[in-house]
Amino acid sequence: MRNGSEEVELLDEAPPEKRPDIRALMGQEAWYIECKRLEKTSGYSERERRKWLRMWTRALDVLIDRRYSVVLDVVFHVELESLPDDFLVTELCGKLALVQPPCSVISNEIWEVSASPVDYAAARDHLSKYCVKYPSDQIDELIGGRREPNRGFTSAIEGRFVQMGDRPGNNRFLDELSFAIGAFWSCDADRSTERKARDIRRHLAEAVRQLPNGERGVVHVGLETLDGQIVEAERYARIVNTVRQFDARGKDLRWVYCHLFQSYAPPHDCWIIDETVYYFGRSDQAGREPIFKRSAVIPEDEADDDNAGVPVHWMRPTP
């Protein structure tokens, strides 16, 4: 309704018939809209995360036993799946005894590792005023000294934990910190970037099959930006190429909208959400866009519009 539609109807499913999600009447024109959503993370991203956890778990006993209280920054230049599970143990743990953070520890064609000290003074100052829920983003920030939502972070801590009241469930709070170690990690290998930058081709094809023949069609695809700038730049190039080459197979597909979302829950705010909209119209639709408010979640004046040259949210520092 906010885009001037006189009538919006949510269409019921009627298997095995293929139907779109919405029918909207704009003046005398009926538009049929199908909406798709990509899964939060790709299967590759999840396998990469599990591989890191296997490597981290193997190293953790050594790191704790030797009391290496540092914050590691690890960037892999090769796929993690190409490395053995004991890679951190054999290639990193022994070197930490020879360095004085902050410093670079390793720099080669396989990976980059740097180390910095845990800021116990800042963490203990915060804990003198507040108990912090465990696990939480606030715990990660206390240990790591910063937030990087688009990278992985793992940690181990020792300290005093308390409960608030007698309620069951996730009721564990850190009250005092005695030891901590953490690691930011990511992978910039070309193959990793390609596998994580999922395209919309399959979802777009499925959506078009649900549009009725001979009717004006629009497709909206939603996805989350969780893997950082390198992956999103690759994804953008793929989306543009897909839409340009896409064959609607006789369906009257006129517009495609890609809504990219990212949400944050930083310790100093309740909730922040970003949205960037990529939109593509068929060449004969120039100046005939049926809507004037493209964002799906946030107010239009707060949404990023890459087609208009506005810096997209995944290129800005995270809140």
The verdict on 136 and 18 lying in the same domain is no
Question: What is d(CA 262, CA 225) in angstroms, rounded to the nearest whole number?
Answer: 6
pTM of the model: 0.84
Q: Where is the domain boundary, 131, 164, 189?
A: 189
Q: What is the pLDDT along the chain (319 residues), one digit of tens a residue?
A: 577 677 889 998 878 888 999 999 988 889 999 999 987 778 899 999 999 999 999 999 999 999 999 999 999 999 999 999 999 999 999 999 999 999 999 999 999 999 999 999 999 999 999 999 999 889 999 999 998 888 999 999 999 999 887 777 788 999 999 999 999 999 999 999 999 888 889 999 999 999 999 999 999 999 988 888 889 889 899 999 999 999 999 999 999 999 999 888 777 777 788 888 999 999 888 778 888 888 888 876 666 555 555 567 877 777 7
User: Does residue 1 fall inside a structural domain?
Assistant: no
The verdict on 175 and 204 lying in the same domain is no
Instruction: Note the Cα 138 to chain centre separation in Å.
Output: 18
Q: What is the pLDDT of residue 306?
A: 53
User: Does residue 274 fall inside a structural domain?
Assistant: yes
Question: What is d(CA 62, CA 65) in angstroms, rounded to the nearest whole number?
Answer: 5
Q: CA neighbours within 13 Å on the CB side: how many for 269?
A: 9
Q: What is the pLDDT of residue 310?
A: 55
The verdict on 250 and 291 lying in the same domain is yes
In this structure, how many other beta carbons lie within 10 angstroms of the beta carbon of residue 82?
Answer: 12
Question: What is d(CA 266, CA 138) in angstroms, rounded to the nearest whole number?
Answer: 8
Coil vs helix vs strand at 91: helix
Q: What is the pLDDT of residue 272?
A: 83
Question: What is d(CA 201, CA 91) in angstroms, rounded to the nearest whole number?
Answer: 40
Q: Structural domain of residue 310, as residue ranges? A: 7-41+198-315
Number of domains in the chain: 2
Q: What is the pLDDT of residue 311?
A: 64
Q: Where is the domain boundary, 164, 189, 214?
A: 189
8 Å CB contact between 76 and 185? yes
User: Does residue 261 fall inside a structural domain?
Assistant: yes
